[in-house]
Amino acid sequence: MPNINSQLSTSEGEPGMNEVLARNIHTLLEKRRADERKASIEQKLADAITRFTGSMPFVYLHAVLFGLWIVINLGWLEWIGLRAFDPSFVVLAMVASVEAIFLSTFILISQNRMNAASERRADLDLHISLLAEHEITKILQLVSQLAHQGGIRESNTPELAELKRDVAPEKILEKIEEKNPQSW
């Protein structure tokens, strides 16, 4: 996971930023910081290793180490006293294989953690969307009542009548699951 300290800070007082948006950004960042603090030492270690192994310094380090290993074991540096210690490259293959096993495990640990966070965000997005749908429906109903009380003739389109109907979140979830059972 990316380091939260290197991300956005709140933008209070900036033009184009209202107080609610600044508060939401602040809340989001505080939640991420809290999640980072709650991570176990093992998770933090796996994230740090994953971050490093996904960087160019890691590539450079391996290019130098493996390159040097190969050059020494091909006997190209015997003239300066460096003798081959793995002429068949069996040890190099074993080291690379063991490293790959551990790196893939660290990457999977980090991905599992990121997937769990992503699922929590997706659930929150769904809840917010359902709440917004409910609020918009209520606003449409209120505007319709105000129009009726004010003697304003409203459009009687089937679409508007449909939009004014309350939406049941459980029905939406059932329909989603019915249409795409693998998604749940």
Query: Side chain identity at 42, as an amino acid letter?
Result: E
Asked if 19 and 98 sit in the same domain, the reply is no
pLDDT per position as a tens digit, 53-90: 999 999 999 999 999 999 999 999 999 999 999 999 99
145 is in which domain, residue-wise? 39-183
Asked if 64 and 109 sit in the same domain, the reply is yes
Number of compact structural domains in the chain: 2
Asked if 86 and 170 sit in the same domain, the reply is yes
Asked if 91 and 166 sit in the same domain, the reply is yes
Who has greater pLDDT, 12 or 30?
30
The overall pTM is greater than 0.85: no
Residue partners of 70: CB distance under 8 A and separation at least 6:
89, 92
Cα separation of 44 and 110, whole Å?
A: 9
With contact defined as beta carbons under 8 Å apart, do 116 and 47 qualify?
A: no
